Chains A and B, each alone.
Chain A
Amino acid sequence: MNKNHRVQSSRSLSAVEVKSKFGAEFRRFSLDRSKPGRFDEFYGLLQHVHRIPNVELLVGYADVHGDLLPINNDDNYHKAISTASPLLRLFLQRKEEADYTAFGTDSLTRKKNTVLSAVLLRPDANRKKPPVIISLPRDFRPVSSIIDVDILPETHRRVRLYKHGQEKPLGFYIRDGSSVRVTAQGLEKLPGIFISRMVPGGLAESTGLLAVNDEVLEVNGIEVAGKSLDQVTDMMIANSHNLIITVKPANQRNNVVRSGGGGGGGGASMPMHIIQNFPVDELESEDEDLVIEADGEAEPIRRAPSNYSMPSLPRYEPHLNLRAATTSVSSSALSINANGTLPASGSSGSLSNTNATSTTSSPDRATERRSLEEDGTVITL
């Protein structure tokens, strides 16, 4: 269950060697892998070893792929420590001089140059056009969005309503109705569930992604066909923390049209593999129950041994080099995975590396393990 533990087991070293670079100066020191401490302590340590106590720093490290990734909170700090192999290379910049564009996961493929050279050796190389300033991951907050455009029929739309502590109500109503479908026997009228009303100012309305009379096909990956209005209502409410609805929009003119070649950077190999881009339990931290001890303060329940989860990274990664693309996308295959058990392991486009999967905090390791197995990827856990 615990990823720290898992990583440790693959590396017996308990000390992490750290090489920290600020400007032209290097410092070397080591940290105890099992007791990394908190990010602010670490930050203080860096200021101390570089003797720059009052300088605002931007801390970055090179991960196993050579990508430059930021360290700015406990979670990605722990991540960095736990994945260091064996050397943790740190790059410090003054905040006011920081080059945000250097960060990113696919920086390696985007540029021929290594990230390191881009940042350190020729800092001016990329300054030709003014960079778009994208704030750091910590400043991102997941928002409601259309997801899985690449795997759904164009007539369907999968919408994630992300509540994220907002006070806004979800704000919509559903009703029974009938929809005409094409079946083997010809056109058939089948019962269906439809959005009947939007609450003005509600989350559903404010996203603009759902509309009255859209037919609801799935709730968090589970088909609603054959379920009663009350069942679907209960399913939606039970998933209300992270509600993902697949609809067939009543208005079919605004559909996302996929270009033939598959646009998102996948090149010729459009991601044919069956993926769902949402790990259902990704937001498990949202689902933590609150325990109040009689003599203490309220604390969220941690999963049995504490589980450090990264705040979800923005998932702007395109699908890359998934194994030799399966040639057929069948809707049946889609439904197999439609229960959303597959975590985002595929989407990070990694080379069969456990670390990549662990960038997303999927709590149900067992499930993940199994789904990986079933993908046929050979993984030693």
Chain B
Amino acid sequence: MKRFRRHGQESQRDRLKQELFQFNKTVEHGFPHQPSALGYSPSLQLLAIGTRSGAIKLYGAPGVEFMGLHDENAAVTQVHFMPHQVELVTLLDDNSLHMWTLRGHKGLSELLEIGRFTLTGPPGAPPSVTRVTAVLAHASGELLLLGTEGGHVFIVEVPGFRELEERNISLDQVAASVPDDYIGRRNLEHVEALQENPINPNQVVIGYGRGLMVIWDLEKQCAIQHIPATQQLESVWWTEDGSYILSSHSDGSYCRWMVGGEDVNEEEEKSDIPYGHFPCKAISKIIQLPTEEGPPFLLFSGGMPRASYGDRHCITVIHSKTHVALDFTSRIIDFFVIRDGLQHTGDPSALVVLVEEELVVIDLQTDCWPVIQTPYLVPLHSSAITCSHHVSAIPLKLWERVITAGELQHTHYSKKPWPITGGQNLAPDPPQRDLLLTGHEDGTVHFWDASGVCLYPLYKLSTAGVFHTDTDPNDNMNQGAEGEWPPFRKVGCFDPYSDDPRLGIQKIHLCKYSGYLTVAGTAGQILVLELNDEAAEQTVEAKVVDLLQGQEGFRWKGHTRLDVREEPVLFPPGFQPFALVQCQPPAVVTALTLHSEWKLVAFGTSHGFGLYDYQQKNNVLIKCTLNPSDQLAMEGPLSRVKSIKKSLRQSFRRIRRSRVSLRKHHVNNTAKLQEANARLEAELAEMELAPVQRKIEARSSDDSFTGLVRTLYFADTFLSDSSHNAPSLWAGTNGGCVFAYMLRLPPVEHRADEPVTAQPAKEIQLMHRAPVVGIVVLDGHGAPLPEPLEVAHDLSRSPDMQGSHQLLVISEEQFKVFTLPKVSAKMKLKLTAVDGSRVRRVGVAWFCSSRTEDYGESGLTVLTNQGDVHVVSLPHVKMQVQYPCIRREDVSGIASCVFTKHGQGFYLISPSEFERFSLSTCHLVEPRCLVEAPLHSGSSNQHRSQPDGASSAHRTRQESEDAEVLQEIQKSLEGDQTSFLENNVKSAVA
């Protein structure tokens, strides 16, 4: 009888679980790692980026994005859109060609691979014959011209990839007609470039590596003209009017050749080495575009003097008298220019440059050519990300103030709208405003709009101004001396070099209701900031806190404290620091929390924790958690690996500085770099020598870093007796210890003058001694206590203060519920003892049912060191669902994970990209967009107007219905799996 009933309940619970939980990886934010190819379709207004890992990503208007992945794990070397079509062709490193299309499906477009092709040469031919080096998507949209390493041009019909053998242009055909006096005629080398005549698609120019260019008539299948350049060819450009061909060469020169001259041997029209005299590097790509009135734009990449600027990554733009060498901070992959007009044949409006670490768009129609802020593809890693913090459902007021502060920072950006506008974003408006805050190595905090598909930068906070850093004030890379040649201009925001690694942000906590923010860094600094709409000049008072509390016999071997500026500092509108705590020893801050209602900040390091009253600007409590036998904690920055990283960074910095100082004095950088390399090698060798074995030993109190504070938590709960609740502070350490303090706050009217006091109330030593990673107090209903001020803002039900509260302690190994105020164990869920995984990240989330709107429950979202995400129910700590999420080898991905309050999460898939995932059936942010095929003929372009409002509304409704059906199906498919898993977990946990 009993059994029957239980089964009934279980299946009901399973159904509910399906309504609550569902795992999806939804969208990738940020900039693709290691981009390797760029493509653009003027007719679709879409941008395509291929990466070295074989991914292809398409971007249009903000919110319009598609992603595809080639099965082959090979780098994408070229991307070409078929003119006026929704197809695109990719060439991979393994010489395979792939055809992709944007197919409409239920009112949305999806990127699909529809064909693949590898060129097959005649039997017995060496592979170089078919190794593709140049691709031309012909204007007809039906042909692909493939130039190969062997010097042949193969013609292939698309989309079917049918080889048109009779039309191939073999090297022999071309070589036969080459003028006898051409020096390189014996070996033309590979096909470097293929371009078609903009006014006559039947003519293409074939550029060979050796320098020779041949204009070939596809109809007549014969050479029309030979252009006998003698330098190694890098690229070819056929001007708009079809009358000139520009060629760029490996010696840094470019040439202009007249087309259609009768005389085959006509001398080159013009040859120029723009940065000449001394040997220059190759010009890898050249473009010339006309303007309606006035001189054309000439753009080329590279060509810098080899000796002095050979390491710069530059694109030179020349228009009339303006000549600028745009200086990028990373290698240039490719660039293109967007042009005005319906046919996209008007004046150049924007230059789009893909460099290795970011996408830079330059407005060519505004004076000074300012940069246009990118709404997506923003490099998250302009300085390395050191931590992240997510805040859900930001109140409108704070949101607007942050945006305003951000806009004031963006004044140097162009006012023009984003020029890439392809596709329609059909995703519903995000239900709430979410902020993602990332802390960076250079001491900045970036605020991102994480509500939707585009992770848009809102505001950037820099904390470096509070401190004296060892940056040389003259060390300003943006300063171009007057009359400098080449006329460099620094563009882009990617700057991986941190001036002082101690500035690095390690912990962030923002109170969304009050606008108070606290950030903490590598050198034990804790700043409390307040949002101010006006600029203010103020001194930041520093308070040094000695966490050792008289513990003797320790010697801090790490970095020193940051040097605080004593004079007033001018802070721009935005978050302005008004209080500073500096821990002594200045170890990295490992835990931080803020209670804006009580105006308290708690912080912890590997030595102890403290409580700071930011209203009265004094310390309330200092507790040393150090174990006297733990010598390692004193040694300084945590591991030796880190110190190599540091020394490497220092050497890099030295190199950079010398580079910036215009090579006036040559320091022995090489010696230093070699030294660093040698050290690194020795370290690596040592690591390899150690056999892969693991010691099995019970944890003891003598282990290292047992005193490291892992988590801090404020709660208004029943700490001493069950009838009076009081403010309390909880701290959990690496050694499995939980400290609880009772706080006494003066009444509001005396808050400014009466002291806040903290009394030790309880100390719990978990017997399994695993690090405590989370502490949560559950109210009488078993619900987690709300955030400070949440109730005051009517955004949360006030907690149940009648029933008995419970304390949930989450260690890396177990979830354990204790009663309060008398701490006795009530329930627990063992994780590590059962499956060997450990908790890495944990968050409290609210899950809504997808079926009934009014039902929801809170749960713990957990990420383990195995990369799995789990949901654990509250308050009964039962395992609900488990999904694999991150590869377990991806340590940095696991370490970077941050959960939202609604069951979503972010983690870094590369230094520059966040993957967004969702455990919730209701909170999903994923791209939903439509790209329509352009109507081919020019005149019909005017008809490409929007469908009228009614029909589009109708379509969206239909889509949402479709999506629901799809979800339903998916759920029923996943159902079995989940229940199976659940049963497994159950029996394992029991």
Contacts and interface: CB of A to CB of B under 8 A. Distances in A.
Given A238-B770, A240-B698, A173 B834 contact: no
Closest 3 A/B residue pairs (Cβ)? A231-B836, A240-B698, A238-B832
B536 interface: no
A364 B838 CA distance: 23
A212 to B, nearest CB: 11
A239 B833 contact: yes
Interface stretch (A19-27, A98-106, A179-187, A301-309): A301-309
A112 to B, nearest CB: 42
Nearest to A302: B824
Contact of A233 (B694, B761, B766, B818): B694
Contacts of B767: 241, 286-290
Contacts of A230: 694, 836, 865
A189 interface: no
Interface in B167-182: none
A172 B696 contact: yes
How large, as a class, is the contact surface on chain B? 35 or more
Contacts of B833: 220, 235, 238-239
B835 A291 contact: no
Interface stretch (A84-92, A221-229, A255-263, A351-359): A221-229
A339 B762 contact: no
Interface string A138-178: 00000000000000000000000001000001111111100
A294 B760 contact: yes
Given A304-B825, A367-B990, A238 B768 contact: yes
B3 interface: yes
B835 A222 contact: yes
30 contacts: A169-B698, A170-B696, A170-B697, A171-B696, A173-B694, A175-B694, A176-B692, A196-B691, A222-B835, A228-B866, A230-B836, A234-B836, A235-B834, A237-B696, A240-B697, A241-B698, A286-B767, A287-B768, A290-B764, A290-B767, A291-B764, A294-B760, A301-B824, A301-B825, A302-B825, A303-B824, A304-B819, A304-B824, A339-B834, A339-B990
Nearest to B832: A238
A236 interface: yes
Contact of B765 (A238, A290, A373): A290
Interface string B686-711: 00000111111111000000000000
Nearest to A202: B697
B830 interface: yes
A190 interface: no
Interface in B938-984: none
How large, as a class, is the contact surface on chain A? 35 or more
A173 B67 CA distance: 46
Given A197-B693, A235-B836, A292 B762 contact: yes
Contacts of B693: 173-175, 196-197
Contacts of B759: 294
A301 B819 CA distance: 11
Contact of B694 (A171, A227, A229, A293): A229
Interface of A: 163, 169-176, 196-197, 204, 220, 222, 224, 227-241, 243, 286-294, 301-304, 339, 341, 364, 367, 370, 373
A254 B2 CA distance: 47
Nearest to B834: A222
A163 B700 CA distance: 13
A219 to B, nearest CB: 8
Given A222-B835, A238-B833, A291-B764, A163 B698 contact: yes
Given A227-B836, A231-B835, A304 B826 contact: yes
Given A174-B693, A237-B699, A289-B765, 9 more contacts: A175-B693, A222-B835, A228-B888, A235-B835, A243-B696, A286-B767, A290-B764, A291-B823, A301-B824
A175 B698 contact: no
Given A176-B692, A228-B888, A238 B830 contact: yes
B988 interface: yes
Interface of A (DSSP majority class): mixed
Contacts of A175: 691-694
Contact of A341 (B763, B836, B990): B990
A171 B700 CA distance: 13
Interface string B861-893: 000011000000000000000000000100000
Contacts of A288: 767, 825
A302 B825 CA distance: 7
B837 interface: yes
A243 B825 CA distance: 22
A295 B833 CA distance: 34
Interface in B738-793: 759-768, 770
Nearest to A285: B767
Q: Max chain B CB contacts within 10 Å: which of A229, A237, A240, A294?
A: A237
Nearest to B823: A291
B823 A238 contact: no
B819 A174 contact: no
B813 interface: yes
B987 A339 contact: yes
B765 A232 contact: no
Nearest to B816: A289
Contacts of B823: 291, 301
Interface in B350-399: none
Given A234-B838, A238-B770, A229 B692 contact: yes
Contacts of A287: 767-768
B145 to A, nearest CB: 51
Contacts of B865: 230, 234
Contact of A303 (B696, B770, B825, B838): B825
Nearest to A204: B696
Nearest to A290: B765
B866 A237 contact: no
B879 to A, nearest CB: 14
B698 A237 contact: yes
B696 A173 contact: yes
B761 to A, nearest CB: 5
A172 B766 CA distance: 24
Interface in B821-862: 823-826, 830, 832-838
B794 to A, nearest CB: 36
A234 B571 CA distance: 49
Contacts of B699: 237, 240
A240 B888 contact: no
B982 to A, nearest CB: 15
Nearest to A281: B830
A284 to B, nearest CB: 9
Contacts of A224: 836
Q: Max chain B CB contacts within 10 Å: which of A231, A303, A364?
A: A231
Contacts of B838: 234
Nearest to B837: A231
A339 B835 CA distance: 11
Given A231-B836, A294-B759, A370-B990, A289 B697 contact: no
Contact of B763 (A196, A220, A292): A292
Contact of A373 (B2, B697, B768, B836): B2
B698 A289 contact: no
B990 A237 contact: no
Contacts of B834: 222, 235, 339
A214 B820 CA distance: 46
A155 B434 CA distance: 59
A289 B866 CA distance: 27
A362 B818 CA distance: 19
Nearest to A341: B990
Nearest to B694: A233
Contacts of A173: 693-696
B829 to A, nearest CB: 12
A236 B836 CA distance: 8
Contacts of B816: 289
A233 B696 contact: yes
Contacts of A171: 696-697
Contact of A234 (B3, B825, B837, B988): B837
Nearest to A288: B767
